[in-house]
């Protein structure tokens, strides 16, 4: 596969290898060091065992939590220490040989690998006690760990931080160390943050034993649910679902004004349904859309910014959102389908914002759509690619029938294997659908599946075998499984490490302390500002309204500032622990505050100076990385203020505790969309005709006010926007008359 790439100097081909190199460069978890062929074969076996273990346990039952998470951590330690160097340098990815290396891996990393596996599995081995070593049952050791617990617990804490550093860089481990220091040295902190401190033995017990620290909810969710959806996304893309999305997006949007840019937005929205990785989304869809945008006339930095901004929405696009969405479901103790439903309008608002900017920029630059000959043929696309939807349909049927997310992922992966590897013309390969059908019948006979869902899954398995596309062979699918495992290493390391933060928050109550500080600071500032909005006895905004708005601003800034270099999942877990107590005190429903933090965690991914998706897009567009990042941020500007709407109008999330009313939802949604369009016109400087600086400022202010959906705010916003809109109408009529 190759894609034609155009730059200022010449046309050249951007190969699949170059695209892979771009993803490795800008995805922290992608670059790995080379190892010898023998060691590579061993790692291949580990990766396939890791993937198959998780796949089978999702369908046939999970072992006890501490064993399941222990096996997951063991795989992370082996693969991370084998593939990621201790320090990244220019030559750290060269093949190393010599006395201090085995198979290209330093003996130090092999030692750390063994210690990591031992510390991960010790918990399960010693859970029921080891009498001949003097180890009691874990119940009697909770809060009072013995010497073995202390040694293995300390090793695990250190090594979990190390694998997070190797896969994701220094920022996340450094922040976690601050939290750990807070737990251990509480008396030295000032004011409300001061606490008696946690004894070291108690700290190790809390961080090592299940439920609170490393073996807590974050690692459980990743090892039990997230990995399976990552694997499904990789397999679905490999079998052709990603290409089907891109082709259909091109058919839908390619012929309109600024066609290739709109294709980028639509295809990224489709692709986001199966991929929670912004960088992977950017490279997969951007390899086609960015060169097409440049050929149409978009500046390189803008083309890259469009793709990065659109791709960042993958983590908030149902049904398969990023890992944070699964953790949100656990935190809120609601079914994952509830989170999926709540995320529908936020995702729509995100893509409306990017789409609006793209459309207005195309109008301003007078860019035309793609020619009819350049568009894929609808009949041909669906004749060849229809079967690629089968796995997604099967996954959604199981997910929305009330079954666990990992069972839905198991069925989705199974159907992806059937669709990719089985063909009626090759009878031997029918073993794949036969095995899955046997599984469905077994579950039905055991009253695990109902009749209607069993019938749908069996039909999907049969249809998948009629896929007209070329069959994927077993070695190729094994490589796809390896890729899925590799993508999961970083999120696994982050989930284990951020479990330390959850443990510290549960042990010290720091989340409530910081939340109290936020609300108190916002309240004091709100009281000072209230006079500015009072006219005699009339208050334009009350102190409570100003306090809520300032609290949201403080939390949003914290999300964006802390999000520099931290994965969205880890950022969400840390900040929701602060945001939830603060916003709960202000009466914000839990799901609105959680979605608020998740949304800003995604915004952080396209906020300079650290915006990896934009830098990957810049490499494809051959544009200035920082300028591309600025373009991505401005394109997503509507998304920056949109989460405020979920707080002021929780009805937009459908499932909020405040209830759902169609009229209230319609009014709030219209207000938010108008706000995003106003902001988009301010960013581009165009609505009907080019817009001056003063009117752009007025439209930006109006857009921000529109985001808070209330009749009072909307009337004020309309008054602010009126001069700019009237000016646009008059100028447009004047230009038409002259023409």
Q: What is the mean pLDDT of residues 466-478?
A: 92
DSSP 8-state code for residue 376: P
Return the closest-CA partner of residue 688 out of 273, 264, 360: 360
Q: For residue 10, is pLDDT > 90?
A: no
Q: What is the mean pLDDT of residues 497-504?
A: 88
> According to the model, what pLDDT value does residue 12 have?
47
Of 207-211, 424-428, 568-572, 688-692, least confident by mean pLDDT is 568-572
Of 305-314, 487-496, 663-672, 680-689, least confident by mean pLDDT is 305-314
DSSP 8-state code for residue 651: G
Q: What is the mean pLDDT of residues 65-88?
A: 92
Query: Which stretch, 47-61, 232-246, 607-621, 713-727, has highest mean pLDDT?
Result: 47-61
Q: How far apart are CA 172 and CA 292, in angstroms?
A: 37
Q: Are strands 538-539 and 534-535 parallel, antiparallel or unpaired?
A: antiparallel
Q: For residue 6, is pLDDT > 60?
A: no
Q: For residue 698, is pLDDT > 60?
A: yes
Q: What is the mean pLDDT of residues 102-120?
A: 92
Q: How far apart are CA 350 and CA 696, in angstroms?
A: 21
Higher pLDDT, 52 or 714: 52
Of 560-564, 571-575, 675-679, least confident by mean pLDDT is 560-564
Q: How long, in residues, is the chain?
A: 739
Query: Which stretch, 4-18, 48-62, 235-249, has highest mean pLDDT?
Result: 48-62
> According to the model, what pLDDT value does residue 523 have?
84
Judge contact between 332 and 645, C-beta under 8 A.
no
Q: What is the mean pLDDT of residues 548-555?
A: 84
Q: What is the mean pLDDT of residues 496-520?
A: 85
* Percent above pLDDT 90 for the chain: 25
Query: Which stretch, 158-162, 370-374, 378-382, 671-675, has highest mean pLDDT?
Result: 158-162
On average, the pLDDT of the chain sits at 83
Q: For residue 462, is pLDDT > 70?
A: yes
> According to the model, what pLDDT value does residue 255 have?
79
Q: How far apart are CA 76 and CA 66, in angstroms?
A: 15
pLDDT band at 49 (very low <50, low <70, confident <90, very high): very high
Residue 7 CA: distances (Å) to CA of 4, 19, 264, 294, 469: 10, 16, 19, 8, 34
> According to the model, what pLDDT value does residue 17 have?
61
DSSP 8-state code for residue 226: I
pLDDT band at 563 (very low <50, low <70, confident <90, very high): low
Residue 288, preceding peptide bond in cis (omega within 30° of 0): no
Q: How far apart are CA 299 and CA 285, in angstroms?
A: 18
Residue 626 CA: distances (Å) to CA of 9, 303, 680: 21, 13, 21
Count CB neighbours of 379 within 10 A. 8
Of 594-603, 631-640, 705-714, least confident by mean pLDDT is 631-640
- Give 338's Cβ-side CA count (13 Å radius): 17
pTM of the model: 0.85
Q: For residue 324, is pLDDT > 80?
A: no
């Amino acid at each position: 596969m190759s894609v034609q790439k155009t730059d200022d100097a010449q046309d050249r081909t951007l190969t699949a290898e170059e695209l892979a190199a771009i993803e490795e460069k800008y995805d922290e978890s992608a670059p790995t060091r080379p190892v010898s062929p023998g060691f590579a074969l061993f790692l291949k076996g580990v990766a396939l065992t890791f993937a198959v273990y998780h796949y089978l346990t999702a369908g046939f039952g999970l072992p006890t939590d501490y064993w399941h998470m222990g096996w997951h951590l063991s795989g992370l330690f082996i693969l991370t220490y084998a593939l990621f160097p201790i320090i990244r340098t220019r030559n750290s990815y060269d093949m190393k040989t010599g006395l201090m290396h085995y198979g290209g891996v330093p003996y130090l990393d092999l030692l750390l690998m063994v210690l990591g596996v031992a510390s991960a599995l010790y918990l399960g081995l010693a859970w029921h006690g080891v009498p001949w070593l003097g180890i009691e049952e874990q119940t009697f050791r909770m809060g009072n760990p013995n010497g073995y617990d202390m040694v293995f617990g300390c090793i695990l804490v250190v090594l979990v931080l190390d694998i997070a550093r190797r896969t994701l860089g220094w920022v996340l481990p450094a922040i976690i160390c601050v939290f750990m220091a807070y737990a251990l040295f509480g008396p030295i902190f000032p004011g409300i943050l001061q606490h008696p401190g946690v004894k070291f033995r108690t700290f190790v017990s809390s961080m090592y034993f299940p439920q609170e620290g490393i073996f807590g909810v974050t690692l459980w969710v990743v090892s039990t649910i997230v990995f399976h959806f990552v694997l499904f996304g990789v397999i679905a893309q490999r079998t052709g679902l990603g290409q089907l999305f891109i082709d259909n997006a091109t058919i839908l949007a390619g012929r309109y004004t600024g066609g290739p840019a709109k294709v980028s937005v639509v295809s990224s929205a489709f692709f986001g349904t199966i991929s929670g990785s912004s960088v992977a989304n950017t490279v997969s869809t951007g390899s086609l859309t960015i060169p097409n945008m440049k050929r149409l006339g978009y500046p390189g930095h803008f083309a890259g910014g469009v793709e990065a901004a659109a791709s960042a929405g993958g983590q908030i696009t149902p049904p398969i959102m990023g890992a944070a969405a699964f953790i949100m479901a656990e935190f809120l103790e609601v079914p994952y389908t509830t989170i999926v439903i709540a995320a529908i309008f936020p995702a729509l608002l995100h893509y409306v914002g990017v789409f609006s900017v793209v459309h207005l920029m195309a109008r301003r630059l007078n860019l035309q759509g793609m020619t009819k000959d350049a568009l894929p043929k609808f009949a041909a696309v669906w004749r060849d690619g229809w079967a690629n939807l089968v796995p997604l349909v099967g996954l959604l049927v199981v997910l929305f029938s009330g079954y666990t997310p990992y069972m839905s992922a198991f069925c989705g992966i199974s159907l992806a294997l059937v669709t990719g590897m089985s063909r009626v013309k090759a009878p031997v390969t029918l073993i794949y659908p036969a095995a899955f059908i046997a599984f469905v019948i077994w579950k039905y006979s055991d009253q695990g599946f109902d009749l209607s869902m069993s019938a749908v899954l069996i039909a999907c398995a049969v249809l998948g075998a009629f896929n007209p596309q070329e069959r994927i062979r077993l070695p190729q699918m094994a490589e796809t499984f390896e890729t899925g495992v590799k993508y999961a290493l970083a999120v696994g390391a982050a989930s284990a490490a951020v479990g330390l933060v959850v443990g510290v928050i549960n042990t010290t109550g720091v989340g409530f302390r910081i939340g109290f500080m936020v609300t108190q600071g916002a309240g004091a500032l709100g009281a000072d500002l209230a006079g500015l909005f009072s006219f005699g006895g009339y208050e334009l905004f009350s102190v409570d309204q100003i306090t809520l708005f300032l609290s949201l601003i403080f939390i949003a800034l914290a999300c964006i500032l802390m999000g520099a270099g931290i994965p969205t999942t880890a950022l969400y877990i840390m900040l929701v622990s602060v945001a939830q107590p603060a916003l709960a005190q202000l009466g914000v429903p839990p799901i609105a505050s959680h979605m608020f933090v998740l949304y800003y965690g995604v915004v952080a991914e396209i906020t300079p100076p650290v915006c990896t998706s934009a830098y990957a897009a810049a490499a494809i567009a051959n544009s200035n990385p920082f300028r591309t990042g600025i373009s991505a941020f401005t394109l997503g500007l509507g998304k920056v203020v949109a989460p405020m709407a979920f707080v002021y109008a929780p009805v937009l999330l459908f499932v909020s505790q405040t209830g759902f009313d169609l009229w209230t939802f319609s009014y709030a949604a219209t207000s938010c969309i108008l706000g995003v369009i106003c902001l988009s016109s301010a960013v581009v400087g165009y609505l009907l005709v080019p817009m001056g600086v003063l009117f752009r400022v007025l439209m930006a202010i109006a857009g921000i006010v529109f985001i808070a959906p209330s009749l009072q705010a909307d009337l004020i916003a309309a008054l602010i926007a009126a001069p700019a809109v009237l000016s646009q109408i008059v100028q447009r009529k004047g230009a038409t008359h002259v023409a």
